[in-house]
Structures are given as structure tokens and as C-alpha cells.
Amino acid sequence: MSGVDISIDIGQRLGAMLTDFGAQAPQAADIVEDLRFRWQEDLLEVWPVDTGTSLQGWENYRSLLVWVLRNPVEYAEYVHAAGDDVPIVEYLAAKAEEYVADAMPDLERLLAQAVAERAPSGLAALVIPGQTQSTAARLTEAIFTATRVSFARPGFGARERLRERFSDQPIGRALSRRRLRVR
């Protein structure tokens, strides 16, 4: 393994996307940004610096609800404090998980507020006489889940474009073989 990737998909853990937060999306993004800054402080505090190459290699950014933590430096996963055999990456990964666990209740509260703000108009339109509100809620959840899953998987057009763009590379050849199997 070369480098380190301890990225965390907070949206997947919540079962939501940033757009699901509605008006609370900026607050949710701020919570993830706060996690980034807290973790960055820990990194600067514990990472030993000889040349600074491995410290400068860290990527710490947010892409929607994915918190990306990477270091492409080949030996980054082996860096440890003098006299300690445990790599510092393990400590940093545990801190990242701890920060996410601490932030989850706030994110879940914001998501619940967003759902509550959307619910009256969306569910009222789906209530069919003789059905309970919970049935309509389950139906709404199923529709949104199916929509989200359909956008998560690239369609035939996307695969075709990838195959054309990378025809001489392994991904293009793999996509070509997949296309032949599907037909």
C-alpha cells in the first residue's frame, strides 16, 4: 500500500446527501468543516517533522459530505513518534472517527429538521384515503432512496464515454468486456 487514505463518507453513514439538508445544508457543511480544522490541529501537534514532506502531503478537505483525508507520500503510513512502534496514522484515524461520532447527533438533528420542513407539503400530497401517514412516509422514503441510488450508479452513457476515453487503459478494456457480456 502506498500512502494513506482514511476518508470518511459521512453522507453514507447518515443515509443522506448534502441536498437532503435543505436550508440546513450550510450548517451541516460547517459542522464537517469544524471536524476538518480540529483534525488538522491534531495532525500538526503529533506529526513528527524531519523534512516536512510527509506533513505537507496531507490532503484534508470536504467534498459535499465526504471528508477526504489522504497522504500520497509512500512512507506516510509508517511514520511514528520516536520510541513508539504504533504509526501515528492509527491515532489520527481514531481521532477522525471520534470527531465524526461526536458530530453525528448534530447532523442527524439538522437532517430531521430538514425532513420536518419538507414533510407537510410532500406527504400531504401522497396521502391516499384509507392509508395511514406512516405508509405515505414509507412510500416517500422508498422513492427518494430509489432516486438517490439511480444517480449513484453511472448509466450506460457514462460507461460508454469512459470506455472511449480510456480505451487503451485497463479501465477501458474492462468496460469493453463488460459491455460485451451485457449484450
Identify the bridge partners of residue 61 per DSSP, sorted by sequence position: 68
More confident residue, 3 or 95: 95
Q: How far apart are CA 61 and CA 46, in angstroms?
A: 19
3-state secondary structure of 159: helix
Q: How confident is the model at residue 122 (pLDDT cuts 50, 70, 90)?
A: very low
The rounded mean pLDDT for the chain is 76
Residue 131 has pLDDT above 50, yes or no: no
The pLDDT of 133-143, averaged and rounded, is 70
3-state secondary structure of 63: strand
Of 66, 64, 65, 71, which Cα lies nearest the Cα of 47?
Answer: 71
Question: Taking the domains of the chain in order of start, what are their residue ranges?
Answer: 4-152, 155-183
Length of the chain in terms of residues written: 183
Residue 114: the pLDDT is 86
Residue 103: the pLDDT is 92
> For the chain, what percentages of helix, strand and coil (3-state, to nearest 5) are there?
65, 10, 25
The pLDDT of 91-108, averaged and rounded, is 91
Over the range 17-31, which residues count as b (16 or more CB within 10 Å of their CB) and which as e? bbebbbebbeebeeb
* Tens-digit pLDDT profile for residues 18-65: 888 888 889 998 999 999 999 988 888 888 876 678 888 888 888 888
Residue 169 has pLDDT above 70, yes or no: no
Highest mean pLDDT among 75-89, 130-144, 164-178: 75-89
Residue 160 has pLDDT above 90, yes or no: no
